[in-house]
């Protein structure tokens, strides 16, 4: 019979038009056996939260290169809370300066992946995160 | 069953959770579906199929926008293939529909085939039931789009839209071999491209040949440029017309009855097989398979033996 599959939403909030990293990660996660819902570029926080709800995902992965993470991430987390999805772990990747990491962890981002992170590290982090929840 | 109550009160998160429970085939799926069933049967179910790259997702997105203007609620079940190697899947149909995701009157769910062939996932029909019970007036099922093997959609939907695009080689020949009989409406999408008229003509020819039996539905061939919304309004009208035809001709009732028949048979088959296998002793199945491989036993005798052992199987809880 069918088995339980881990579902993850990979979304790119904000206005930068570079989704290569997000696509590479999406493929790697598929190859690791996850069901990846990929929504493409320029997602508003509302789109991301509502998609997470409809798709009943176990995790949300946000990719951002524009530098707007300190503005967009809190809004996404707040909307997830409001929809009763505050228990879904949120991971982030992209260009995120080290000095922002404590604040991001503080607001509830489970893990952050910078440039050069291998896809294995990301898969490993996801497995760890899922074990905790 | 608390989740069903929340769902029936209109809780969208409960709807999403219900779909997962049913999709994962948790042991409570039959119970959940039984509780939903009285609330289903209102939606017009529309299948959208055709080869990859013909623009199915964009078309479904544009159709949904037009239908929303008319005040109806829409559900979308978008099916993409699971990787046969990892079991994972990349579900990307939402990319072309994301602006709809914040519309409360639209519910979109991506599904992976999880090893099932024929263009749909095993649970697609059940997920449609959840969206039907949620009160969506029209539900689109977008198939994998692998081409000719997608006839399952004809069973799952009331109206089947087959999408083609010009410039995709012999695609229309392939459609003629496989999908032709299941189409209720043909769409030549990307109709601003060269070859659109040729595609229409190629589809028209066999339809003209078929036109012998009185007032049967003749699949219309519509041209669209989905990305600009062109021709989409006419396609919505065609969907409505087909539904009207199904109702007037009695086909709707017939289709629904056939679907119920197949569904009950499938459930009985699966349950019986499962119960039969659960009665076997540890390793007995494997031994049987080995004997068949060694030609000591044939599959027909083996099946007969299993059936003989069934006895009062139907009474088991």
pLDDT, tens only, B105-124? 999 999 999 988 778 888 99
**Cβ contact A47–B109 (<8 Å):** no
Helix axes A119-132, A20-31, angle to 10 degrees: 60
HEC-encoded secondary structure of B70-129: CCCCEEEEEEECECCCCCCEEECHHHHCHHHCCCCCEEEEEEECCCCCCCCCCCHHHHHH
**Cβ contact A40–B109 (<8 Å):** no
Q: Is the pLDDT of residue A133 over 60?
A: yes
Distance, in Å, from the CA atom of B206 to the CA atom of B203, rounded to the nearest integer, reads: 6
- Asked if A121 is an interface residue toward chain B (Cβ–Cβ < 8 A), one would say no
Enter the tokens of residue A125.
């982090």
Q: Mean pLDDT lowest for which of A14-23, A101-110, A124-133, B144-153?
A: B144-153
- Asked if B13 is an interface residue toward chain A (Cβ–Cβ < 8 A), one would say yes
Q: Which of residues 102-131 of B touch A (CB under 8 A)?
A: 102, 107-110, 112, 114, 122-123
Q: Which residues of A touch B87 (CB under 8 A)?
A: 5, 33
- The CATH superfamily label for domain B41-249 reads P-loop containing nucleotide triphosphate hydrolases (3.40.50.300)
- Asked if B28 is an interface residue toward chain A (Cβ–Cβ < 8 A), one would say no
Distance, in Å, from the CA atom of B113 to the CA atom of B155, rounded to the nearest integer, reads: 17
H/E segment holding residue A64: strand A59-64
**Best B15, B94, B122, B273 residue to mutate vs chain A (most A CBs within 10 Å):** B94
Q: Which residue of A2, A3, A83 is in closest CB contact with B13?
A: A83
| B208 confidence band (pLDDT: 50, 70, 90) | confident
Mark residue B155 as left, alpha or beta (left: phi above 0; alpha: psi -120 to 50; beta: remaining). alpha
The domain limits of chain B are 1-39, 41-249, 261-315
Q: What percent of chain B has pLDDT over 70?
A: 91
Distance, in Å, from the CA atom of B222 to the CA atom of B231, rounded to the nearest integer, reads: 7
What ipTM was predicted for this assembly? 0.92
- B180, B147 in Cβ contact below 8 A? no
**Best A24, A27, A38 residue to mutate vs chain B (most B CBs within 10 Å):** A38
Nearest to A128, CA basis, from A75, A89, A81, A70: A89
The count of other CB atoms within 10 Å of the CB of residue A64 is: 23
Domains, chain A, in order of start with CATH, read 7-132 (3.40.50.280)
pLDDT of residue B212: 57
Q: Is the pLDDT of residue B170 over 80?
A: no
Radius of gyration for the alpha carbons in chain A, expressed in angstroms and rounded: 14
pLDDT of residue B306: 87
| A1 confidence band (pLDDT: 50, 70, 90) | very low
State whether residue B187 is helix, strand or coil: strand
Q: What is the mean pLDDT of residues B33-48?
A: 96
Instruction: Answer with the residue of higher pLDDT: A50 or B144.
Output: A50
């Amino acid at each position: 019979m069918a088995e339980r599959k881990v579902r993850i939403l990979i979304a790119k909030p904000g206005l930068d038009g570079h989704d290569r990293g997000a696509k590479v990660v999406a493929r790697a996660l598929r190859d690791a056996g996850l069901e990846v819902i990929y929504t493409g570029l320029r997602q508003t926080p509302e789109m991301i939260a509502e998609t997470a709800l409809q798709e009943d995902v176990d995790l949300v992965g946000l990719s951002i290169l524009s530098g707007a993470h300190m503005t967009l991430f809190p809004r996404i987390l707040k909307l997830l809370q409001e929809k009763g999805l505050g228990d879904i772990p949120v991971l982030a990747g992209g260009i995120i300066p080290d000095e922002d990491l404590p604040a991001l962890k503080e607001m509830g981002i489970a893990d952050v992946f910078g440039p050069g992170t291998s896809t294995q590290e990301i898969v490993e982090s996801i497995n760890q995160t899922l074990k905790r929840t | 069953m608390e989740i069903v109550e929340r769902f029936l009160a209109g809780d969208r998160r409960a709807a999403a959770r219900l779909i997962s429970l049913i999709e994962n085939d948790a042991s409570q799926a039959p119970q959940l579906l039984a509780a939903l069933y009285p609330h289903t049967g209102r939606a017009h179910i529309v299948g959208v199929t055709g080869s990859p790259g013909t623009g199915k997702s964009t078309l479904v997105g544009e159709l949904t926008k037009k239908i929303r203007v008319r005040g109806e609620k829409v559900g979308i079940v978008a099916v993409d293939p699971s990787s046969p190697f990892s079991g994972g899947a990349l579900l990307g149909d939402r990319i072309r529909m994301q602006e709809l995701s914040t519309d409360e009157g639209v519910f979109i769910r991506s599904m992976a085939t999880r090893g099932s062939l024929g263009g749909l996932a095993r649970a697609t029909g059940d997920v449609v039931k959840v969206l039907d019970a949620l009160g969506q007036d029209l539900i689109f099922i977008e198939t994998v789009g692998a081409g000719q093997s997608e006839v399952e959609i004809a069973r799952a939907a009331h109206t089947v839209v087959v999408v083609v695009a010009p410039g995709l080689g012999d695609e229309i020949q392939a459609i003629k071999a496989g999908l032709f009989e299941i189409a209720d409406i043909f769409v030549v999408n990307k109709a601003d491209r060269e070859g659109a008229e040729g595609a229409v003509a190629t589809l028209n020819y066999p339809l003209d040949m078929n036109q012998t039996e009185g007032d049967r539905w003749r699949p219309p061939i519509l041209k669209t440029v989905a990305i600009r919304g062109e021709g989409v309004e006419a396609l919505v009208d065609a969907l409505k017309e087909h539904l009207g035809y199904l109702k007037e001709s009695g086909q709707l009732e017939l289709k629904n009855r056939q679907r119920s028949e197949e569904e009950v048979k499938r459930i009985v088959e699966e349950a019986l097989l499962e119960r039969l296998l659960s009665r076997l002793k540890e390793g007995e199945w494997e031994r049987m398979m080995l004997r068949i491989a060694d030609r000591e036993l044939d599959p027909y005798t083996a099946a007969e033996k299993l059936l003989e052992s069934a006895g009062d199987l139907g009474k088991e809880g």
